Amino acid sequence: MKKSILLLLFVTAFANAQNVEKDRINQTLDAWHKAAADVKFDTYFSALSDDAIYIGTDATENWTKKEFQVWAKPFFDKGTTWNFTALERHIFFDKSGKIAWFDELLNTQMKICRGSGVLVKVGKEWKIQHYVLSMTIPNDEVDAVTKLKSPVEDVLIGKLKKK
């Protein structure tokens, strides 16, 4: 009986700890998205780890943190940033509790987009280490979208095949 109670207490404590960390990650991601909407360059980029990678919606957008900062700086300087708010988010942890990954659906100026990524715990803070943003395409519209993007991406495919 004592073993059952101890096990129940352990499982409850572990679940509570994970919920606290999920809340922290949600706060980190929400604050990160809000920093872009509020045109706060330093706040936005401080949420990323030093070795972060950002992959945008265009096939050519695969940036280190520094490259992403260079690309984004003119938008922040002009006050023409983006505004993403989470509609749905799922968060998962590795066994150590120091690495988390997530996926989210976002309300954006591009309508619904999907974000996914990896966070690492640095001290007591969660930092975004890898982020992928993609536009969603309704299945019934895939043929039309493919036709629209083919002229640009056929050229890119040719260049990438030559590498």
pLDDT in tens, 138-151: 999 999 999 999 99
The span from the CA of 33 to the CA of 81, in Å, is: 10
Q: Into which CATH architecture does domain 2-162 fall?
A: Roll (3.10)
The domain ranges of the chain are 2-162
Q: What percent of the chain has pLDDT over 90?
A: 88
For the record, the structure tokens of 31 come out as: 């604050």
pLDDT in tens, 70-127: 999 999 999 999 999 999 999 999 999 999 999 999 999 999 999 999 999 999 999 9
The span from the CA of 129 to the CA of 99, in Å, is: 10
Using a CB cutoff of 8 Å and minimum separation of 24, what contacts does 108-112 make?
A: 108/82, 108/83, 108/84, 109/82, 109/83, 110/57, 110/135, 111/135, 111/136, 112/87, 112/136
Strand order in the sheet with 99-108: 62-64, 48-55, 125-135, 111-122, 99-108, 85-93
Q: What angle do CA 44, 64, 146 make, to 5 degrees?
A: 95
Q: Which of 16, 18, 6, 24 is nearest to 124 (CA)?
A: 24
pLDDT at 72: 98
The pLDDT mean for the chain works out to: 93
The span from the CA of 52 to the CA of 130, in Å, is: 5
